Each structure stands twice: as C-alpha cells, then as structure tokens.
Amino acid sequence: MSLTPLAFEAAAWCAERLDEVELALSQWVGVGAPESLAAPMRYAVLGGGKRIRALLAMAAQEAVQAPREAGLRAACAVELIHAYSLVHDDMPCMDNDVLRRGKPTVHVQFGEANALLAGDALQAQAFELLTPQDNSLPPVQQAQLCGLLARAAGAGGMAGGQAIDLASVGLALDEPQLRHMHRLKTGALLQASVLMGAACAPSLKAQTVAALTAFADALGLAFQVVDDVLDVTADAATLGKTAGKDAANDKPTYVSLLGLAKAQALAHSLLEQAMAALAESDLPDTRALAALAERVVQRTS
Amino acid sequence: MSLTPLAFEAAAWCAERLDEVELALSQWVGVGAPESLAAPMRYAVLGGGKRIRALLAMAAQEAVQAPREAGLRAACAVELIHAYSLVHDDMPCMDNDVLRRGKPTVHVQFGEANALLAGDALQAQAFELLTPQDNSLPPVQQAQLCGLLARAAGAGGMAGGQAIDLASVGLALDEPQLRHMHRLKTGALLQASVLMGAACAPSLKAQTVAALTAFADALGLAFQVVDDVLDVTADAATLGKTAGKDAANDKPTYVSLLGLAKAQALAHSLLEQAMAALAESDLPDTRALAALAERVVQRTS
C-alpha cells in the first residue's frame, strides 16, 4: 500500500514558516547589543520583507528532512545578511535611498553612523546564529553553514556583485556580464539559502547537491529578472521602495537589455529550468521549494 | 636529563611571524574579488599595521602547540576584522579621518562606496579564511573559530563597543563605563585573537582557557589605556594618524578621566596582571605571549 501524500497548501506552508522565522528573528536580533545598536538592528530586520531567502532555507531543510532548529538558524542568518546589505546599500554613498518597505531607511531613522554599525553587527550576528554555544547544532554543520554563508556574502558573492554593479553605472554591459553581476549580487545569497537549508542534513548525495545548486542558480537569476521587470511595471506604493530608479540611474537591467517582453519570457524560462532541476534532486518532497520558485516569478512586488 | 630551553629572542620571533602573516595576507586578501573591490580590500589590509592581533593569535597557537596553518588562518582572520573596522571607522559619517598609517584612508583613496563595500567584504572574508574547503582545518576548529570571531566582532563585542563610543561623545563616562566600552570596542577582538590561537588545539584544560582569558582581558584594557596615553604624548608622524583627536572630539579617555600619570601607572599594573595570569595557564612556554604583552604596553605608536 503506498501512502497518498497530503495535499500541499503553499500559502498555508509559507504563512506558518513565516511566523516561525519572524518569531525567531524577534527573539534573536540585537540581543546582547547596547540599546543604541539594538534599535537600528531590529528596525532593519523586523516587521517587513518577503523573507524569500528564509523560506528557501526552510523549504530546503524540510526537503532533506534535517532538524528544524538548524533550518531556522540558517534561515535567520541569510535574512540578517540580506538585511545588512540593504542597510548599507541604502546609505547616501551608495544608492542614497530614503524609503524601504514603505518606511524611512535605517540611516534616515537612526543616522548614518548607526546604520553603518548596525549593518556591520548584523553581518557578524549571522555567524553568531550559525555557531550556537549550546551544542544545538553539530560542529560539522556549523562549519559548513559558516563556509557557505561567508562565500555567498563576500567578495566572490554578494559584495563582489555590488562592486561590479557600482563600477558598471553608465556602462553598456552585455547579457553575460549582466548575468555574472547578478549571479554574484543577488544569486549567491539566494543559492546559499537553498544550500544552507540542505546542509542542515548530516550528509547529502552529490546528485542532490548538484540539482539544488542548479535549481537555486536558475531561481536566483529569475529573481533578478523579475526585479528588473517590476522596476518598470510596478509603482512605488506596491514596491514599498522608489520605482523606476534603475532606469533613472542609467543602470543596466534585463529590461534595458532585452526589452520588457523578452525579459518576462526569460523569467518564465528560468522558472522551468528551476523546476526541471528540482525533478533531478532525488528528494521525496520538493513541493515547498517548487511553490517558492513560482512565488518568486509571479510576485508583483 | 632536562632540556635547556633555547633563549627566546622576542624581536626575531616577531619578525619571523610578521613575515609569515604578511605573506599569507598578501596571498589571501581579495582573492576572487572583482578588481574594483580587491584593490581597496588589499589597500586596507596590506603594507602597514603592527599586526598585534595576528601576533597574539600565533603566539597563543604556539603556546598550545597547535598546527601552524590553523594559527595563521586565525591570525589573518582577526586582522581582516580589525582592518574592516578601521575602514568603516575612518569614513565621513564616523570619525571622518583622512590619514591612516601615514597614507590616505580607504574612502579618500577609493571613494566612500568602495570603502563601505571593501569593509563588508573583509568581514566576510575573515569567515572564509576560517572555513577552508580543503579539509586543512577540522570542522570542530572551524566552528569554534567562527563562533569566537563572530562574537568578538559583533554587537556584544567590537561593533557594540563602537556604538557605545558613538553614543558617549560629550558624556561624562565614569571609569566602569569607560572600561566596559573599551572591553567591547578593542578588548573583545584582542581577547579573541588569543583565544582563537588557543582554539587551534584540539582540546584545552579549563584552567588554560581561564588563564588565557584573564591574560587577554588585562592586555586588551592595557592596549586601550596606552592608546589614550599616546594620543596626548605622541605626535602624528609617530602615530601615523591624527594625534590629539580624542581630546579635540571631547571623547572620554583614560587620560581625561585619570590624568596622564595615573593612566600610565594603570597600564603597567594591567601588564603585571596579564603576566600573572599567564603564569597560571599551565602552558610550558608562554614567552611569545609575554613578549607581546610587554610590547603592547611599551610601544610608542
């Protein structure tokens, strides 16, 4: 007799996991920090954001049937890295943005010096979350998670992509150059979210790691293409941030390079690639990962 | 027959270890980064600095007879964290310093955006160094080193101390408050340097960890007291940075609180405490650690 799998309710799954992530973040972020630092750290992280990275980490942790606490630590760690990158990106010397998720950005609210420090402390806290001192996560997993996160956040990942982005304003990047930049800038951390969730398991088949890597690679690129599409199709109220900013800043985007229709088609083609990779993973239940991939491409903000 | 210990030549020991650290840093820093990011990262780290943190890590690694490669990774990781903190500290929204080690600061040389990103990437690279993907460091040590460094760098350590410092300008801190601020701001990373060097050993007696913690605690505070003394007694040419800046900024210091003579006496008393702690460590050879403690207190820049 084969078991009939329970119906998968994507919206309910996301809502439940989101609650867990928000609760964990609210319990962890800025704990032990002086109040003048805890306040901007918590403001930067709590009460907003789609938490797509956290959800990917938790979906991967579930897909490999690893312990939930490990997945939650991985999920929160990637959110802290994402949050710190937004705080620093918004600063006057970078994008000089005053609005984020419909609220004043951290440096507007707390001053530039506190925003700088809060971002720095959030990056460190991500690694604190991955190295609990109470034996709740085996050292092998701690080491793997720290290694994945450091590489995704650093010069060969997110920070490197931001540097290329910064050096590319006003330049005519071709599609391979743009793809490389986004693979680092946003793709690396999205990929790490999936791989860190998976790394919560004691061991994985090489086939599974390769498939999840391909899944996350396609998904990461799709995420950026959709971002570029939304920058021209959505308004500030829906986005919760300034719209049309890339075009105004003469930044290269998939829309400026391919046109709107081809960019939208690319996003859907990447979604198909991601789904095909998932089918190769040899994991029994990847429905949450699949649902998140669909969400990424079909989101409107 | 007991072996006669070789004479310990502190200057030669420091020179040899410094060469190793500089070589390792020059081989590691910014590798894999896009050129626009590698350049400010390397500028921030290479070709300057006393490397006191790196030397403490290597002295501790030697004292516990742990593998040299592990010590070198710990040493370079703490230097990357120290270097990133200087880059961000020097920025206009923080100390707005234009001179560091006799050279233009990173944001003056490369612009603020690149300085911000380079600092962020250096923090991430510290954790990359601690998580080599080639099995050269056992996962247990990787996890311990990442945990120590994250806590020393983050909101309960260096970044937290900087936030307190920032919030204290113009306030009349008393000695316990000043001590708490410095314990976090500079003490935590100096202490981590020693403890990370020691954590390169597979296991340590609790007595040894306690003694090294006390040693590093006294040493970290001594370092800051001497810094405050030098801020009023040394000139910019010797310091390689702007002198008299703390007084000009109305920042509380040990000199403003205790007066110059008592601050100098405190530094020497802390050195004696550090040496006493070392004697309790039950380690066979702590001469390099002792020599470094003397250097910290007797330095003139």
Question: Which pLDDT tens digits describe chain A residue by residue (301 residues)?
Answer: 445 556 789 999 999 999 999 999 999 999 999 999 999 999 999 978 899 999 999 999 999 999 999 999 999 999 999 999 999 999 999 999 999 988 999 999 999 999 999 999 999 999 999 999 998 999 999 999 999 999 999 999 999 999 999 998 878 888 899 999 999 999 999 999 999 999 999 899 999 999 999 999 999 999 999 999 998 888 655 655 555 566 556 677 899 889 999 999 999 999 999 999 999 999 999 999 999 999 999 988 7
Query: How large is the ipTM?
Result: 0.94
Q: Nearest Cβ partner of B33 from A30, A133, A160?
A: A160
Condensed to tens digits (0 to 9), the pLDDT of residues B9-51 reads 999 999 999 999 999 999 999 999 999 999 999 999 997 889 9
Which residues in chain B touch residue A111, judged by CB atoms under 8 angstroms apart?
93
Contact B146 A127 (CB under 8 A): yes
Judge whether A103 lies within some domain.
yes
Q: Predicted confidence band at B235 (pLDDT cuts at 50, 70, 90)?
A: low
Structural domain harbouring B190 = 16-296
What is residue B1's predicted lDDT score, i.e. its pLDDT? 45
Judge whether A161 lies within some domain.
yes
Contact B133 A124 (CB under 8 A): no
Q: Strand pairing of A103-104 and A99-100?
A: antiparallel
Judge whether B9 lies within some domain.
no
SS3 A253: coil
What is residue B300's predicted lDDT score, i.e. its pLDDT? 82
Contact B151 A128 (CB under 8 A): yes
| Contact present, B250 and B169 (Cβ < 8 Å) | yes
CA separation for the pair B241, B224 (Å, rounded): 16
Q: Nearest Cβ partner of B120 from A88, A125, A133?
A: A88
- Whole-number average pLDDT of chain B: 92
Contact A34 B116 (CB under 8 A): no
Tell which residue, B28, B9, B84, has the closest CA to residue B53: B84
Contact B121 A166 (CB under 8 A): no
Number of structural domains, chain B? 1
Condensed to tens digits (0 to 9), the pLDDT of residues B277-288 reads 999 999 999 999
What is residue A58's predicted lDDT score, i.e. its pLDDT? 98
Contact B128 A150 (CB under 8 A): yes
What is residue A179's predicted lDDT score, i.e. its pLDDT? 92
Judge whether B8 lies within some domain.
no
Judge whether A6 lies within some domain.
no
Q: Nearest Cβ partner of B155 from A85, A125, A156?
A: A125
Interface test with A, best of B116, B133, B145, B168 (most A CBs within 10 A): B116
Contact B159 A36 (CB under 8 A): no
Which residues in chain A touch residue B140, judged by CB atoms under 8 angstroms apart?
139-140, 143
Smallest Cα distance from B213 to chain A, Å: 17
CA separation for the pair B108, B98 (Å, rounded): 6
End-to-end CA, chain A: 44
Tell which residue, A247, A297, A248, A242, has the closest CA to residue A272: A297
Condensed to tens digits (0 to 9), the pLDDT of residues B95-128 reads 999 999 889 999 999 999 999 999 999 999 999 9
Rg, Å, chain B Cα set? 19
Place of tokens 């007694």: B233
Judge whether B151 lies within some domain.
yes
Judge whether A285 lies within some domain.
yes
* pTM, to two decimals: 0.94
* C-beta neighbour count of B255 within 10 angstroms: 22
Judge whether A245 lies within some domain.
yes
CATH (domain of B239): 1.10.600.10
DSSP class of A2:
P
Closest residue of chain B to A107, computed from CA coordinates: B93
Smallest Cα distance from B33 to chain A, Å: 5
What is residue B160's predicted lDDT score, i.e. its pLDDT? 98
